[in-house]
């Protein structure tokens, strides 16, 4: 079982976001960067599939700056075999351009499965994995929370509004991981030591600009919240009154 996992380096979900002086990007000072949470599920699933198959290879691929090497090492510490950094100064704002760059690397890699996170928590496009599948002409299922693989076929479940879709597909395929697919393992100390020696190839790539440009990046207007109506059950009538007259939801 040969599996590729595409991962992205993103700000920690706890990070406080400040706008940089250009007004178009975030100020990265003091921001901690992590492996995108959804990509952890993808890495875990790849490792499990390889373990189940008894043999194979898990290859980690990231498109980004040199700093992404550290993120690749995190996935290697979890147990992946080798990494590839597609080095670029700037990823595109247009997911198609990033998908094209990743597809260029994945093409001809003879992978049985190519896994992605459902979404990168920085740009939240929820697009790159499904786009790569289309660019490579491979079947794909997005945002899966359950997966079974047997005899060159797969069965995956994805949550939709008010239900769960069950999709059957043929391998090779592209899948994107939703929370709930598995419980990602933590890199053990031994894994972290081993990861330092695992191969990590760095290749320069050109990422197209795409068809999207940033006008401005701003902080959202703070919600004018903070009206405490009172304490305990006695405050309930005031709430009902507010909902009825001021916001008209009742």
Ligand X SMILES: Cc1cc2nc3c(=O)[nH]c(=O)nc-3n(C[C@H](O)[C@H](O)[C@H](O)COP(=O)(O)OP(=O)(O)OC[C@H]3O[C@@H](n4cnc5c(N)ncnc54)[C@H](O)[C@@H]3O)c2cc1C
Residues that bind ligand AMP (CB under 6 A): 6-8, 36, 38-39, 62-64, 91, 95, 98, 102, 116-117, 119-120, 123-129
Instruction: Classify the phi-psi angles of 35: left when phi > 0, otherwise alpha if psi is within -120 to 50, otherwise beta.
Output: beta
Indicate whether 65 belongs to the interface with other proteins (CB under 8 A). Answer: no
Q: Which does 6 bind (CB under 5 to 8 A by kind): ligand AMP, ligand X, other proteins, none?
A: ligand AMP
147/158 Cα distance (integer angstroms): 9
Q: Are 114 and 4 in contact (CB under 8 A)?
A: yes
**For residues 13 and 124, which CB has a smaller minimum distance to ligand X in the complex?**
13
- Which stretch, 42-50, 71-79, 193-201, 220-228, contacts other proteins (CB under 8 A)? 220-228
- Note whether 119 and 38 are within 8 A (CB): yes
Give yes or no for a contact between 24 and 214, defined as CB atoms under 8 angstroms apart: yes
- 14 has which bridge partners? none
Please state the closest distance from residue 138 (CB atom) to ligand X, in A: 29
Among 7, 10, 35, 37, binds ligand X (CB under 6 A): 37
Return d(Cα 144, Cα 177) in angstroms, integer. 5
Q: Which is nearer to ligand AMP, 19 or 121 (CB)?
A: 121
Site for other proteins in 34-53 (CB under 8 A): 37-38
Tell me how far apart the alpha carbons of residues 60 and 46 are, in angstroms, rounded to a whole number.
10
219 binds other proteins (CB under 8 A): yes
SS3 (DSSP) at 79: coil
Least CB distance to ligand X at residue 32 (A): 12
Binding stretches for ligand X (CB under 6 A): 13, 37
């Amino acid at each position: 079982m040969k599996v590729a996992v595409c991962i992205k380096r993103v700000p920690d979900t706890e990070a406080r976001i400040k706008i940089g002086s250009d007004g178009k990007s975030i100020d990265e000072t003091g921001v901690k960067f992590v492996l995108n949470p959804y990509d952890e599920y993808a890495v875990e699933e790849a490792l499990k599939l390889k373990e189940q198959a008894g043999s194979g290879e898990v290859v980690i691929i990231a498109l980004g700056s040199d700093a992404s090497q550290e993120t690749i090492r995190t996935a290697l510490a979890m147990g992946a075999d080798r990494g590839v950094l597609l080095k670029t100064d700037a990823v595109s704002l247009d997911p198609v351009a990033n998908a094209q760059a990743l597809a260029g690397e994945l093409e001809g890699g003879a992978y049985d499965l190519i896994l992605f996170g459902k979404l990168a928590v920085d740009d939240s496009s929820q697009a790159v994995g499904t786009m790569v599948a289309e660019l490579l002409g491979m079947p794909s299922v997005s945002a899966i929370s359950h997966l079974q693989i047997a005899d060159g076929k797969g069965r995956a479940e994805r949550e939709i509004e008010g239900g769960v879709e069950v999709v059957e597909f043929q391998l090779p395929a592209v899948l994107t991981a939703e929370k709930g697919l598995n419980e990602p393992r933590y890199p053990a100390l031994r894994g972290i030591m081993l990861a330092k020696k695992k191969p990590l190839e760095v290749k320069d790539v050109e990422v197209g600009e795409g068809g999207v440009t940033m006008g401005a990046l701003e902080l959202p207007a703070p919600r004018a919240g903070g009206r405490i109506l009172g304490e305990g059950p006695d405050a309930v009538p005031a709430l009902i009154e507010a909902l009825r007259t001021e916001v008209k939801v009742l």
